[in-house]
Amino acid sequence: KDVILPAQEKTNRSRSLHVWSAGCSTGEEAYTAVMVMKEYFALCPGWDYRTLATDLSTRALQSAARGVYPEESLAGLPPQWRHRYFRRQSGGCALSDEIRREVIFRQLNLMEPFPFHTPFDLIFCRNVMIYFSQEARDSLVARFRDALKPGGYLFIGHSETIPHNATGLRYIEPSIYQKGP
């Protein structure tokens, strides 16, 4: 939020941000991305941001769409976000409709062709590629690169690596890569 969003603010003339959480599981990452963008862009109005979250598991997607999480899973969020965006209920903490409606959940097998026509500014695929063969990872990274806008960012898991020079993506720092202009 301190580097990527200010960079987008300076270079993104359309003032729209398309985000994809690939392998979203139960949605925490996608919802956190929405909260970060909502807080950041509150200070610079006029931005449109869209978040797509995909997973192969229909069970995970159903859980994500409900947006109810155990209270202990919110420990990493700032206290003001927990207060502003969640309400306690039996069985956990429910995410506000204000945030839930900002994420579109869809089922998608990452090994199949991507059905998207609009490129993304940010793609999160964290802790997913560890389950694939090296050949499948290489193919997936190439398809993520092709799905990014020029200057867009790919975020991967801390335990995952991709070759720095073989991907068409520039290494920024551990787990963060950027597509060239």
**How far from chain centre, in Å, is Cα 63?**
17
Report the C-alpha gap between 115 and 76 in whole angstroms: 33
Question: Structural domain boundaries of the chain?
Answer: 4-67+97-179
Report the C-alpha gap between 65 and 60 in whole angstroms: 9
For residues 162 and 156, the answer to whether their CB atoms sit within 8 Å is yes
Q: What is the pTM of this model?
A: 0.94
pLDDT computed for residue 3 by the predictor = 80
Report the C-alpha gap between 86 and 97 in whole angstroms: 9
Question: What is the residue-level pLDDT of the chain in tens, covering all 181 positions?
Answer: 678 888 888 888 888 999 999 999 999 999 999 999 999 998 888 899 999 999 999 999 999 999 999 999 999 999 999 999 999 998 899 999 999 999 999 999 999 999 999 999 999 999 999 999 999 999 999 999 999 999 999 999 998 988 766 678 999 989 999 998 8
CATH class of segment(s) 4-67+97-179: alpha beta
